[in-house]
Amino acid sequence: MAGSETGIKTSPMKIALIGYGKMGRAIESLAMEKGIDVTGKVDPLTPFKDIFPQTLQQADVCLDFSHPDSVKENIREAAALGKCLVVGTTGWYDQIPEVKRIVKASNIGLIYSPNFSLGVNLFVKLAAKAAELFNPFPEFDIGGFEIHHNQKADLPSGTAELVCETLLKHAPRKQSVVYGSKKIKDPEREIHYPSLRIGHVPGTHEVIFDSPAETVTISCVSRNRQSFAMGALLAASWIRDRKGFFTFDDIINQILKDKHGIH
Ligand SMILES: NC(=O)c1ccc[n+]([C@@H]2O[C@H](COP(=O)([O-])OP(=O)(O)OC[C@H]3O[C@@H](n4cnc5c(N)ncnc54)[C@H](O)[C@@H]3O)[C@@H](O)[C@H]2O)c1
């Protein structure tokens, strides 16, 4: 499965899909290629509705790519069955404390990320390093933007927030982020990071360091949803035998440590 590329050993696995939209379908098609069994699907907008909890019963891991409004209830239902979860749905992070309580009380494993793409996660690490390098040079302003398809529910995207939080942490001369199309008031302390919603773009992020004389950019462009699906399946194989609350960064850090001795 996807894990073989990264050196994480995997074994045959059964998964259930909560949410059978663009991502649910992308995961299903990759799972079929990798010989992973999709034993259940739940989605109110498809024929696979109202079959909780039998739908989830046979699965080793449930993968939730649904809607921010339903994610906590979905986690509660899967946790009640003792199922480990991969949560890719974005826009629910104010509920993390409550979800952590559910995970602990049910003694399951849950791994979440606003973005399960390996490339994006390594891009965030690059952005952290770049922010550290550019922070002492105030002639370089720091900003960026994101582009996603026009059906996306959240704005800014969860990944945009992750990128900006990373920039703030590693470039302390910047103290806040202006998202959306709002005008910035304090260019010295604010990061401008607008969002464009257009067509079918799976996800583009660009971070810019700009001085009067030159511009340095780092960008990550997803060509399709396969990168997210690969990461989600890697996360499923990683979480199936673990208990606790994790992020995708825990996997990346483990791989970096095992393969390169860095953290
Ligand atoms: N973490 C990542 O790597 C990653 C990547 C892409 C998208 N996403 C996120 O995943 C989510 C889904 O994205 P998508 O592109 O597949 O969206 P989508 O709109 O194509 O599909 C979402 C599906 O969830 C279903 N749904 C709604 N409520 C539900 C419920 N209570 N139970 C089960 N299903 C329910 C909808 O009917 C719909 O079919 C979004 O939050 C998106 O931001 C995350």
pLDDT digits (tens, 9 = 90+) for 193-222: 999 999 999 999 999 999 999 999 999 999
Q: Which residues line ligand 1 (CB under 6 A)?
A: 18-24, 42-45, 65-67, 70, 74, 88-91, 113-116, 153-154, 228
Query: Edge to edge, what strands does the sheet with 84-87 contain?
Result: 37-42, 14-18, 61-64, 84-87, 109-112, 244-247
Point out the residues that are catalytic: 148, 152
Tens-place pLDDT, residues 41-72: 999 888 777 666 778 889 999 999 999 999 99
Question: What domains can be seen in the chain, in order of their start residue?
Answer: 2-116+225-260 (3.40.50.720), 118-221 (3.30.360.10)
Ligand 1 centre to CA of 153 (Å) is: 9
159 marked as part of a ligand binding site: yes
Ligand 1 centre to CA of 132 (Å) is: 34
Q: Where are the alpha helices (DSSP H) in the chain?
A: 22-34, 54-57, 71-80, 96-106, 118-134, 158-170, 226-239, 248-260
Per-residue pLDDT for 242 more than 90?
Answer: yes
Ligand 1 centre to CA of 64 (Å) is: 7
Tens-place pLDDT, residues 83-137: 999 999 998 999 999 999 999 999 999 999 989 999 999 999 999 999 999 999 9
Indicate the SS3 state at residue 206: strand
